[in-house]
Every structure is written in structure tokens, then in C-alpha cells.
Amino acid sequence: MALTVSLGGSTMEFETAAGLFSPAHADRGTLAMLACADLAPGQRVLDLGCGWGLAGVYAALVCGAENVVMTDIDPRAAALARRNARKNGVEGVRVYTGDALEAVPDRAFDRILLNPPYQTDFSVAKRLILKSFNRLEIGGKLFMVTKRRTWYLNKLKSVFGGARVQQIDGYFVFEAERRARQYAQK
């Protein structure tokens, strides 16, 4: 399947596939998260669970391809993300296949973008939040989007010490900044 997505003054072309997350259209939650993510040139960005690459490709257009890393556990998704990066002229992004941050050798990100599998149990989201904290620079931010508010806000408070929440188009977009070397609560 082919998609055209316009965002932040950029028009991007994507190839998607059945069986992957949101293959027929740009996910509204991801679009809401990207609208809040305050990306800027030169920021180091991780698209955690990149799928076919919408967030990572957009981040590469804004921040520079050399500053963006994408990862997905699904080899088909990672392959499409690579292909979509080339298709949009940002082939310098690095795309890893593997289980979340275990697949990523890079450290010290300024932004991590996450649309977790919130329809499953919370153990996956908990692990992704904890691991993301450890990969952010001091002052770096996790931007995460879900359909649920309370559990995620409480988890972000316990790890980051707080979070801003915006409700957009039926989704909750969380912004949590790493301000210390240690989790807020052990």
C-alpha cells in the first residue's frame, strides 16, 4: 500500500503493508505526538517501535538523517522503515531490528518518540518507559501517545518526576523530561 502524509510543511511518501500497525493511513495518535514533540535541527532522536517509519522519517527531515535512529522488533516493519527513509531522501537514518532498546547501541538521545502497544498488558510499556529514561540526555524528553491516561501518567511521574499531558483527537500525548541521573522514585 502507498500513503502520502503531509505534516509540518513536509509531504512524505510511504509504503506500508498489511499486518503492520496502521497500514491504511497515518495513525492519528502518532500525528498528535509529532505535533507536540518540538523537534529541532541537530536533535538526536529515537523512534522506538518505528513501524513503517512515519515518526522517524519526519524526525529525520526536521533534525537531520544522521541524528535519527529507528527500531522495531518486526523485521518487515524495519525493512519498510529503511525503504521509506530512502524514498523520502533521509537514507542516513539508522534502523535496527530487535527488541526495543536492546537492539540500539546508541545512547544520549534528546528525544524519544513512543507509541507503545497499549492494548496489551502494561509490562511492555513499563519496560519501554524505564529503558527510555536511561537513554535520554539530561534535559532530553520522552514523547509518548496512548489512549489511556492514568496508569501512564503515574508511571511517568514515578520514573521522571512528572509529565505534561495534552489531549488531542482522543489521544493522550505525554511529555516527560529527564532532569536527573536517577529515577524519581525507586
For residue 164, what pLDDT is reported? Answer: 98
* Mean per-residue pLDDT over the chain, rounded: 95
Q: Mean pLDDT, to the nearest integer, of 52-74? A: 97
The 10 Å CB-count burial string (b at 16+, else e) for 27-40 is bebbbbbbebbebe
For residue 185, what pLDDT is reported? Answer: 75
Kindly list the distances between the CA atom of residue 101 and the CA atoms of 54, 125, 132, 152, in Å, as whole numbers in the listed order.
19, 12, 8, 19
The fold of the 2-177 domain, in CATH, is Rossmann fold (3.40.50)
For residue 7, what pLDDT is reported? Answer: 93
Is pLDDT above 70 for 186?
no
- Alpha helices, DSSP H only, in the chain? 28-36, 54-63, 75-87, 122-135, 150-160
Between 119-128, 148-157, 172-181, the lowest mean confidence (pLDDT) is in 119-128
Q: Going by C-beta distance under 8 Å and a sequence separation of 6 or more, which residues neighbour residue 72?
A: 49, 50, 51, 78, 81, 95, 97
23: confidence class by pLDDT, cuts 50, 70, 90: confident
The tens digit of pLDDT for each residue in 81-137 reads 999 999 999 999 999 999 989 999 998 999 999 998 866 678 889 999 999 999 999
What does the chain come to in residues? 186
Q: Mean pLDDT, to the nearest integer, of 147-170? A: 96
Q: 62 with 40: CB under 8 angstroms?
A: yes
Is pLDDT above 90 for 58?
yes
Bridge partner list, 166: 173
